[in-house]
Structure 1
Amino acid sequence: MSLDADAIVDRRRLKRQLIGWRLTAIVAFAALAYAGIATYTDLAPSNLAGDGDHVATMEIGGLILDDQDRLEALDDVAKSKSAKALIVRIDSPGGTAVGGETLYYALRNVASSKPVVALIRTIGTSGGYMTALAADRIYARETSLTGSIGVILQTAEMSGLLEKIGVKAETLASGPLKGQPSTTEPMTAEARDATQNLIDDTHQWFVKLVTDRRKLTADEVQLASDGRLFTGRQALEAKLIDELGGMADARRWLKTNHGVAGNLPMFDVDIKVSNKGLLSRLLSSSGKTLLSERLTLDGLLTLWQPAGLF
């Protein structure tokens, strides 16, 4: 019996050690994987793109936020001597106004040294269309959705609901417009006017971009800037895009108008993700639904969002 008891004790000790080694291996593997992902963009892709002349490409998809990693990557493209052009593939309903603004100016910086082409695929609306405006040439498919030129700010007023469940919210503020609009009290006329002024001011800035970049008349820009959607065919008629087509058409235009050889290879822009940026991207990608992405937004939005989805 003593030998059996000793064997059982030894077996349990070995089992605990095995579990400990397994946990150590898992933690080590996770750390190595994280380090590998964090440094991946510092390795082969950037070296490959630097081996010779090429056409840079970048995907702008999903919600457009103020992405510092992407802005730095675009600055690298602007400075690159081997990148002879940039083709931006857009599939985005828009995002925050600041996100769209910073991306627009980063692309214009690239365009100051080399041609930039925008390809609107399934959707390029609101801030997505603002992105396209930065290009020297805009393409879309016949059934692409674009336009929705405008600004939106939404808030929920829940004082009635709170009252029903026995919650009374009180707010102390330094002025009548501080903390407005609020979810805990009805919006006053003064607060509504002040908020609308914010929206109108940003909308006027957006419309001026459209007017200047697309060379539209007053009547043409009035039609384009009321928030409506356009198909690619309608956008061509409204002068919001230059041509119906895709990648092959973009390459042909670059060759004809800028002498960019049609046989140059294309490389995706290397976005060097910081550790902080990587973590936020991993967290955001873990639940990519319209609702979860919606909850990450704050401030003024240049975004097309079908109201029935929220």
Structure 2
Amino acid sequence: MTFRADDLIERRRLRRKLTFWRVAAFLIVLLGLAGLSAWFYRADLGGTASDHIAKVRIEGTITQDDELVGRLEKIRKSPQVKGVILAIDSPGGTTAGAEYIYDEVRKLAADKPVAAEVGSLGASAAYMIATATDHIVARQTSIVGSIGVLIQYPDLSGLMDKLGVKLEEVKSAPLKAEPSPFKPTSDAAREMVRKLIMDSYDWFVGIVAERRHMSRDQVLPLADGSVFSGRQAVANKLVDALGGEDEAVAWLGTKGVDAKLKVVEWKSTRRGSFFLPDSLAGLAAQALGLPQGNGDLLRELGADRLFLDGLVSVWHP
């Protein structure tokens, strides 16, 4: 009987210990979930839940970027963001993609002061996006401008003749699927494309005139595709001031934003590349001397520019 009583007592002790550790494990899991939720919340706020100035990078070739537009919308709705800096370093891209981002930046600027900080390059469609902000700063040696629109396509007809390849086609009208890379461009097709280009060019010039508070006659001499240094851009009123992040923050200060607030980058939520995971893409970018941020390696190499569809506003060095 003594052995059975001791055994019963020991079993009760084990049950109490087991219950304690079960409760402890449950609490640890709850704390972990709470911490994970807080981490995701901070990630959506660029890493902080306190008042701050949000910074968003617009780099590489510009296309219709749903992720970027969604990020700008979150910034607009965040009460912790008091001001915004768009860090632009891009040769441009598709006009439709730039228009999409431009419209979202204008919505953002209606609620919060927004400045653009041009790095090495803010040309073509990238400059269009910069004009959506209310203040543009650029380095003295930044490249700005290249206001214009183009369509480029190859003429492979000579190569096809050499290879003995002949194109046969049946179409509903002469201008259907024109211009074609498989035959020389007709005068009618060239005129059709030119009308399309000039209509979009007129729209682009109008945006610059409106946003830079200039007349159309003032913009037209600057909208011949020319690029300008930051110094020249200031002189031509395409840029407001020379400088970088500090100057952008100082301007935000004139709009009621506390200049002492921390500048927090709201990074892309993309993870890796279609061709390479994050780790391999980072190593490859490092070996090639390319940025190791959130950009796709192929975007950094410029390969995506080879497959731009539609009207394009891009500067090719």
Could you say whether these structures have the same fold, taking a TM-score greater than 0.5 normalized by the shorter chain as the test?
A: yes
1:300 to 300, 308, 311: 311
Structure 1, unaligned stretches of length 5 or more?
Answer: 1-38
Task: Report the identity percentage.
Answer: 39
Structure 1 residue 299: Cα displacement: 1.0
In the aligned structure 1, how far is the partner of 2:45 from the partner of 2:234?
Answer: 39
In the aligned structure 1, how far is the partner of 2:110 from the partner of 2:208?
Answer: 18
Q: Which amino acid aligns with 2:259?
A: G
In the aligned structure 2, how far is the partner of 1:259 from the partner of 1:217?
Answer: 30
User: Matches of residues 235-246 of structure 1 in structure 2 within 5 Å?
Assistant: 235-246=233-244
Normalized against structure 1, the TM-score is what? 0.80
**SS at the partner of 1:227?**
coil
Are 2:131 and 1:120 equivalent residues in the alignment?
A: no
Q: Mark the CA change 1:166 to 1:291 in structure 2 (over 3 Å): closer, same or farther.
A: farther
Structure 2, unaligned stretches of length 5 or more?
Answer: 1-36, 282-294
Structure 1 residue 136: Cα displacement: 0.7
Q: Which amino acid aligns with 2:175?
A: L
Normalized against structure 2, the TM-score is what? 0.78
Are the equivalent residues in 2 in contact too, given 1:151–1:202 (CA < 8 A)?
Answer: yes
> Partner residue of 2:251?
253
> Partner residue of 1:25?
none
Q: How many equivalent residue pairs? A: 264
Deviations 1:267-296 (A, max 9, x none): 1124334x8x96489698343465522223
Are 2:54 and 1:56 equivalent residues in the alignment?
A: yes
Larger CA deviation: 262-271 vs 102-111: 262-271
Q: Which amino acid aligns with 2:114?
A: V
Deviations 1:245-266 (A, max 9, x none): 11111111111x2121122112
In the aligned structure 1, how far is the partner of 2:128 from the partner of 2:88?
Answer: 11
Are the equivalent residues in 2 in contact too, given 1:46–1:270 (CA < 8 A)?
Answer: no
1:140 to 138, 141, 145: 138
> Partner residue of 1:269?
266
Deviating beyond 3 angstroms after TM superposition, the runs of 4 or more aligned structure 1 residues are 41-44, 47-50, 270-273, 277-284, 286-291
> Partner residue of 2:4?
none
> Partner residue of 2:222?
224
Q: Mark the CA change 1:250 to 1:270 in structure 2 (over 3 Å): closer, same or farther.
A: same
Structure 1 residue 47: Cα displacement: 5.3
Taking only aligned residues, the RMSD between alpha carbons, in angstroms, comes to 2.2
Are the equivalent residues in 1 in contact too, given 2:58–2:87 (CA < 8 A)?
Answer: yes
In the aligned structure 1, how far is the partner of 2:250 from the partner of 2:266?
Answer: 21
**SS at the partner of 1:112?**
helix
Q: Mark the CA change 1:195 to 1:164 in structure 2 (over 3 Å): closer, same or farther.
A: same
Deviations 1:127-169 (A, max 9, x none): 1101110111000111110000000110111112101111111
